[in-house]
Structure formats: structure tokens, C-alpha cells
A = this chain, B = another copy of it.
Amino acid sequence: MEKQTITIYDVAREASVSMATVSRVVNGNPNVKPATRKKVLEVIDRLDYRPNAVARGLASKKTTTVGLIIPDVTNMFFSSLARGIDDVATMYKYNIILANSDENSQKEVQVVNNLLAKQVDGLIYMGHDISDSIRSEFSRSKTPVVLAGSIDPDQQVGSVNIDYIAAVAAATKQLLTSGNKRVAFVSGPLTEALNSQYRLRGYKKALDEAGVAYDESLVFESQYSYQSGLALFERLQKAKATAAIVSDDEVAIGILNAARDAGVKIPEDFEIIASNNTKLTEMSRPRMTSIDQPLYDIGAVAMRLLTKMMNKEEIDEKTIMLGYDITERDSTK
């Protein structure tokens, strides 16, 4: 037996009304007499009719679907953002098409094209960096785009983030103030604007204000992975660092564990401040002090901003900066 789909036409016939009326009922259009509405609703229920969203999308040019470009769902930082995004998407009746990009810009272009072909109403981009090819894809289409947890130096698209310069500066300052002469800065790829133009700048700023000379040998680039962190500690020791501000929580845990495995006491002999305040910072022993980005909220606000853009509402400010904090735990004195 074939999948015998029942359509709006069937409902119309059974209810002895026109397709237009059924459509009105389904879409909550008020211009329907209550009695008619009731009759239609009843038939819909009896026939177990389910509107076909694809046909709807074609006719109305709206899919109530947004694309989400995520480097890796498996990274707590991104999945926390994603959770906030999905929750408010659901709230506004949107669905999320998830696409892992691995921060590979070739794959990203591919993915963005694919998403646009699917006629998503909007796009949330979580890559740390917008390559030029991506940027041109974005500007070519009229589809609204919002960055979550990242910054676009060119401010071409919407974005939700925190004041990364100030946050890193504050963390660095704290480490300096507690007596560390050599505070390392462990960053993700410096090719990413977020790292080179924001976080690193904050680090330098704090150094500057404390009258400490900037020493390039204290700056470390790393992948966003636990293994990288594990391997990094040795280099940190060689550089005679006694503290580190680390851009990714997994990396931070790696460093912390490597330190402890090497018999280094934390925070007595080495202090660490992580950057994302994911669940992981609670799970480590000692628990980790971290810059507290409101991850879930960043995602939620980003999606909310996107709904406004998709509705063509007036946007006062398309770059939204949320507050941050430094949550003190046990990896700092």
C-alpha cells in the first residue's frame, strides 16, 4: 500500500468548503466564521490531516527553518550555545538544520550553499572566523546571519558576544595581581580575529597597564582539544610560566591535568583561568576558575535577534554584547 497522503484538498472536499478556507483555518486567519472553523477543524482531526511544510514553504517562501553552522557539536562550548539557540528557535516555531563544519572553510562554503539551497530563513554561524568566501556568500544572499559567541570585526552581520578584550584583560590582571610574573596566554588559532584582535589585545592591555613587558614566548597557539592542552603544559613549564589564561575549557583541563600529573600543585605552583565556564570547569579537580560567558544566553539571544531580522523588524543594534563575570573556583589563589 502506498503512502496515501491526505491533502488540503481532501479536507476541503470533506468539509464542503474551499481550499482557501481550510488554509485560513490552518493558519489561524481570523476571517473565518466560528462555525465553519469548527467544521473544518473536525474534518482535519478526523482525516488526521497534517499540512505539508514543504508545499507551504514553496508557496509562501518561508520555511521556518534556520541553518546552524557549528564547528563541532561535541565541544561543550558550542553545544551549550546550540542548546540556547534551539530552545528559542522552538519557542518561535523554527527548526534548526545542524551542520558541522570542523572550522574548515572549504566545508563551510559547501555547507552554507547547501543551507541556502534549502531556503533557510536565517543562518547562525558559530565558526570563529568568517573567511572571505563565506562572507561573500553571506552578502550575496539576502538571508539574515547572526554570529553566536564570536565577533565580526567588519560588523557586517549580527552578532552576540561578550567584551572579550575586557574579559581577558580582567583575567590577566587578576593573575598578575596575585603575584605571577610570567602569565601565559593560551589561545586558539591566531588566524582567528577573535583570538588575535580581541583576546590577545586584552592580554596585552592588562600587561601594559601592569607595566609588564609583552613576551611573545608566553603566547601559545593551540587546537581546541583536550589532547592539545595535555601536551601544552610541558611547553608552559619550559617557558617558566606560573599561570595561564586559556581560551578553551577542554584545553584548560588538559593543562590542569598535565600539571597535576607532573606533580605541580594547582593553584599554589600554577594558576589557570579558563574562558568558557562550561560544565567542565565544575568537573575538574581542582575546579576551575573561569571567565563566565553566559553560553546558553548567548545562543538564546542570538536566535532571538535572528527572529527579529527574519521578521524584518527594526533592529536598534545588531551587535549585542552580554555581560560577563569571572567565576572564582580553585585553580586560582
User: Taking beta carbons and an 8 Å cutoff, which residues of A are in contact with B?
Assistant: 3, 48, 50-55, 57-58, 63, 65, 68, 72-74, 76, 79-80, 82-83, 86-87, 90, 95-100, 113-119, 140-142, 226, 250, 253, 257, 260-261, 279-280, 282-285
- Which of B57, B113, B284 makes the CB contact (< 8 A) with A283? B284
A110 to B68, CA, bound (A): 21
Q: Which residue of the partner chain B has the closest CB to A117? A: B53
Which chain B positions have C-beta within 8 A of A250? 279, 283
Given contacts A3-B142, A95-B97, contact A54 B57 (CB under 8 A): yes
Shortest Cβ distance from A100 into B: residue: B86
Q: Tell me if A119 and B54 are in contact (CB < 8 A).
A: yes
Tell me if A50 and B113 are in contact (CB < 8 A). yes
Find out whether the CB atom of A257 lies under 8 angstroms from the CB atom of B279: no
Contacts of A253 in B (CB 8 A): 283
For the A-B complex with A51-B117, A73-B73, A74-B82 known, give 6 more contacts whose Cβ atoms are closer than 8 Å.
Answer: A73-B86, A74-B80, A76-B76, A96-B99, A98-B98, A250-B283
For A229, the closest partner residue in chain B by CB is B283
User: Which residues of chain B are near A116, meaning CB under 8 Å?
Assistant: 50
In the complex, the answer to whether B79 meets A83 with C-beta atoms within 8 Å is no
Q: Which residues of chain B have C-beta atoms less than 8 A from A142's C-beta?
A: 3
Closest beta carbon of chain B to A144's beta carbon, Å: 12
Chain B residues positioned under 8 Å from A83 (CB to CB): 72-74, 100
A135–B192 Cα distance when bound, in Å, is 46
Q: Find the B residue at minimum CB distance from A296.
A: B74
Contact A95 B99 (CB under 8 A): yes
> Given A86-B99, A95-B99, A119-B54, is A74 in contact with B74 using a C-beta cutoff of 8 Å?
no
A141 and B280 CA atoms in complex are apart in Å by 40
- Inter-chain contacts of A55 with B (CB < 8 A): 58
Q: Assuming A50-B113, A98-B97, A118-B65, is B73 touching A226 (CB within 8 A)?
A: no
Shortest Cβ distance from residue A74 to the other chain B in the assembled complex, whole angstroms: 5
Question: Closest Cβ of chain B: how far from A174's Cβ, in Å?
Answer: 25
Contact across chains for A119 and B53 when beta carbons are under 8 A apart:
yes
Chain B residues with CB under 8 A of A50: 113, 116-117
The 7 closest A-B pairs by CB, nearest first: A98-B98, A53-B118, A3-B142, A54-B57, A73-B79, A53-B117, A54-B119
- Is A74 touching B63 in the complex (CB atoms < 8 A)? no
Residue in chain B with minimal CB distance to A227? B282
Bound together, the chains give a CA A63 to CA B280 distance in angstroms of 38
Q: Contacts of A117 on B, CB cut-off 8 Å? A: 50-53
Partner pick for A97 among B58, B72, B96, CB 8 A cutoff: B96
List 22 interface pairs A-B (beta carbons < 8 Å), by A numbering: A3-B141, A50-B116, A51-B117, A52-B58, A53-B119, A54-B119, A58-B58, A65-B97, A73-B82, A86-B100, A90-B99, A90-B100, A95-B115, A95-B118, A96-B99, A97-B97, A98-B98, A257-B283, A260-B285, A261-B285, A283-B283, A284-B285
